[in-house]
């Protein structure tokens, strides 16, 4: 019997050809692209270049290739039903994990190849993150575990209530020990918890400071769910790395962004996860309160864009029927409403989002050395946003999903 002393690694080259390519950054599309994949990694990207010997050729004809989309704020644990909180309450851990798995797969099929889960129950998203490492039907997952909230506060039913400076510090430490990627804290109330008031802060400055300090001591970023203006002001003073929602919501409207807040957001390069993405689902609509506030929210969004605030899409996928797993595609026209070009909106949902999530070295761009996460659509999404929904193919780390 002979034992081989060397193993020749078999290269699994795939050459994908299409009509156009958006690389995640360059506003000009590359014509006649060939993207060569070596297993799970992009080997080369070029225009009208020859296909390497032995590569399997996939010709997508008139399609446009883009980096897979990156959603900075999802809830895999919610099922995008009319009442996801009650639906979750009826599921044990195994059933909840099964729902999360199919939710994540649906996101991937819709072109979302990286998601950051900002609130689960029982750290279930960490189990799915582990599964995704070897399962090419799942997107890459980053996870916060259960959000840290006040006793009885917003999303308390997800199980991580903490009060006072010491309580908050202990909660952050417990999350760090479980191996989360980010800390999520509910700085203000929220919409989907009965009795919770989004326009009111939940924590004071001292607790937010303790949370941010403890997160940073563990080399973890921290993001604050913040609607109320006071919660945003305190969150900035506390040193939050990013914010979710940032609606400046009042009891019956929306505050204009205070000038000093706008300046601080831009100067400190704080990332703002914009709660965009509204899927046109028959019979479903956003809550009337949000519809009434929309003009003021758009005005604030335009000012943030004008000031150069680092905006990404954090859709809150899962919380309602209008928020299906792949809802981020519907965030693109909303970014355009704020004044972005289509290319800028796609950049915000690919390369910029990947960088904001700490994955800018391997996600969000189609370039050599990057993970082969690719969305192929029919038509040109820069001139026709609807093209983004005509999905031809999705590759997750080099593996084509069956559609
Ligand atoms: Zn959320």
Query: 192, 75 in Cβ contact below 8 A?
Result: no
Q: How far apart are CA 167 and CA 202, in angstroms?
A: 14
320 CA distance to ligand 1 middle (Å): 11
Q: 365 with 70: CB under 8 angstroms?
A: no
CA of 17 to the centre of ligand 1 (A): 37
pLDDT of residue 4: 45
**What distance in angstroms lies between residue 64's CA and the mean position of ligand 1's atoms?**
31
- How far lies 395's CA from each of 311, 330, 387, in Å? 26, 20, 18
Rounded to the nearest whole angstrom, what is the distance from the C-alpha of residue 311 to the centroid of ligand 1? 16
The Cα 389–Cα 78 span in angstroms is: 23
Measured in Å, residue 133 CA sits from the centre of ligand 1 at: 24
In this prediction, residue 7 carries a pLDDT of: 45
Q: What is the 3-state secondary structure (H, E, C) of the chain?
A: CCCCCCCCCCCCEEEEECCEECCCCCCCCEECEEEEEECCEEEEEEECCCCCCCCEEEECCCEEEEECEEEEEECCCCCCCCCHHHHHHCCCHHHHHHHHHHHHHHHHHCCEEEEEECCCCCCHHHHHHHHHCCCCCCCEEEECCCCEECCCCCCHHHCCECCHHHHHHHHHHHHHHHCCCCEEEECECCCCCCCCCCCCECCCHHHHHHHHHHHHHCCCCEEEEEEEHHHHHHHHHHCCCEEEEEEEECCCCECCCCHHHHHHHHHCCCEEEECCCCCCCCCCCCCHHHHHHHHHHHHHHHHHHHHCCEEEECCCECCCCCCCCCHHHHHHHHHHHCCCCHHHHHHHCCHHHHHHCCCCCCCCCCCCCCECCEEEEECCCCCCHHHHHCEEEEEECCEECCC
Cα(40) to centroid of ligand 1, in Å? 30
- Which is it for strands 242-249 and 271-274: parallel, antiparallel or unpaired? parallel
Distance 75 CA to ligand 1 centre (A): 6
pLDDT in tens, 148-160: 999 999 999 998 9
Q: How far is the CA of 204 from the centre of ligand 1 (A)?
A: 20
Distance 190 CA to ligand 1 centre (A): 9
Q: What separation in Å is there between the alpha carbon of 319 and the centre of ligand 1?
A: 8
Residue 107 CA to ligand 1 center (angstroms) comes to: 16
Whole-number pLDDT of residue 10: 56
User: What is the 85 CA–ligand 1 centroid distance (Å)?
Assistant: 12
Q: What's the gap in Å between 81 CA and the centre of ligand 1?
A: 15
List CB contacts of 294: < 8 A, sequence separation 6 or more.
none
Name residue, tokens 């028959």.
282
Q: How far is the CA of 272 from the centre of ligand 1 (A)?
A: 13
According to DSSP, the residues that pair with 249 across neighbouring strands are 228, 254
Take residue 393 and report the two structure tokens written for it.
Answer: 């193919």
**How far is it, in rounded angstroms, from Cα 282 to Cα 279?**
9
118 C-alpha to ligand 1 centroid (Å):
6
Cα-to-centroid distance, 31 and ligand 1 (Å): 38
End-to-end CA distance of the chain: 45
Strand pairing partners for 228? 249
Ligand 1 centre distance from Cα of residue 135 (Å): 25
CA of 251 to the centre of ligand 1 (A): 20
- State the helix-helix crossing angle for 205-217 and 229-238, rounded to 10 degrees: 40
Structure tokens at 170: 């202990």
- Give me ligand 1 centre to Cα 380, in Å: 31
pLDDT of residue 6: 46
CA 14–ligand 1 middle distance (angstroms) = 38
Q: From ligand 1's centre to the CA of 268, what distance in Å?
A: 23
Separation in Å, CA 291 to CA 50, 168, 175, 278, 313: 51, 34, 35, 11, 19
Residue 73 Cα to ligand 1 midpoint, Å, equals: 6
CB 14, CB 36: distance < 8 Å: yes
Reading phi first (left if > 0) and then psi (alpha if -120 to 50, else beta), residue 122 is in left
Rounded CA gap, 38 and 181, in Å?
A: 28
How far does the centroid of ligand 1 lie from the alpha carbon of residue 317, in Å? 8
371 CA distance to ligand 1 centroid (A)?
27
pLDDT attached to residue 275: 97
Give the closest residue to 300 by CA, choosing from 352, 350, 243, 346: 243
Do residues 171 and 386 make contact, with C-beta atoms less than 8 angstroms apart?
no
Phi, psi dihedrals of residue 52, rounded to the nearest 5°: -65, 150
Residue 316 CA to ligand 1 centre (angstroms): 5
Low pLDDT (below 50) residues in the chain: 1-8
C-alpha 96 to ligand 1 mean position (Å): 17
Q: In what order do the strands lie in the sheet with 399-400?
A: 30-31, 20-21, 63-67, 374-378, 391-396, 399-400
C-alpha closest to that of 311 among 287, 330, 328, 335: 335
């Amino acid at each position: 019997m002979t034992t081989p002393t060397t193993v020749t690694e078999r290269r699994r080259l795939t050459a994908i050809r299409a009509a156009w390519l958006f690389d995640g950054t360059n506003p000009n599309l590359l014509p006649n692209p060939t993207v060569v994949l070596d297993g799970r990694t992009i080997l080369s990207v070029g225009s009208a270049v020859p296909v390497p010997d032995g590569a399997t050729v996939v010709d997508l004809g008139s399609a446009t290739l883009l980096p897979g989309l990156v959603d900075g704020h999802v809830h895999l644990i919610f099922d995008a039903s009319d009442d996801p909180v009650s639906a979750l309450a009826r599921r044990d851990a195994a059933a909840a994990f099964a729902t999360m798995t199919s939710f994540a797969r649906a996101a991937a099929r819709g072109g979302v190849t990286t998601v950051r889960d900002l609130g689960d129950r029982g750290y279930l998203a960490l189990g799915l993150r582990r599964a995704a490492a070897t399962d090419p039907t799942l997107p890459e997952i980053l996870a916060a575990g259960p959000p840290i909230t006040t006793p009885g506060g917003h999303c308390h039913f997800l199980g991580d209530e903490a009060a006072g400076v010491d309580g908050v510090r202990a909660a952050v430490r417990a999350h760090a020990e479980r191996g989360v990627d980010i800390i999520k804290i509910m700085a203000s109330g929220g919409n989907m918890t009965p009795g919770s008031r989004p326009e009111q802060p939940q924590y004071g400055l001292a607790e937010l400071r303790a949370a941010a300090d403890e997160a940073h001591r563990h080399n973890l970023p921290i993001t604050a769910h913040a609607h109320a203006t006071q919660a945003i002001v305190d969150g900035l003073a506390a040193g939050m790395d990013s914010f979710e929602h940032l609606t400046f919501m009042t009891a019956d409207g929306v505050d204009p962004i205070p000038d000093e807040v706008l300046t601080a957001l831009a100067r400190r390069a704080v990332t703002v996860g914009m709660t965009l993405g509204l899927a046109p689902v028959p019979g479903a609509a956003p809550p009337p309160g949000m519809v009434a506030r929309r003009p003021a929210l758009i005005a604030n969004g335009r000012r943030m864009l004008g000031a150069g605030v680092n905006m990404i899409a954090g859709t809150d996928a899962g919380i309602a029927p209008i928020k299906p797993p792949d809802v981020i595609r519907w965030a693109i026209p909303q970014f355009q409403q704020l004044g972005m070009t289509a290319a800028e909106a796609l950049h915000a949902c690919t390369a910029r989002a990947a960088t904001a999530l700490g994955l800018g070295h391997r996600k969000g761009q189609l370039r050599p050395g990057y993970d082969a996460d690719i969305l192929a659509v029919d038509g040109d999404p820069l001139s026709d946003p609807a093209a983004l929904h005509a999905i031809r193919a999705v590759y997750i780390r080099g593996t084509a999903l069956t559609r």
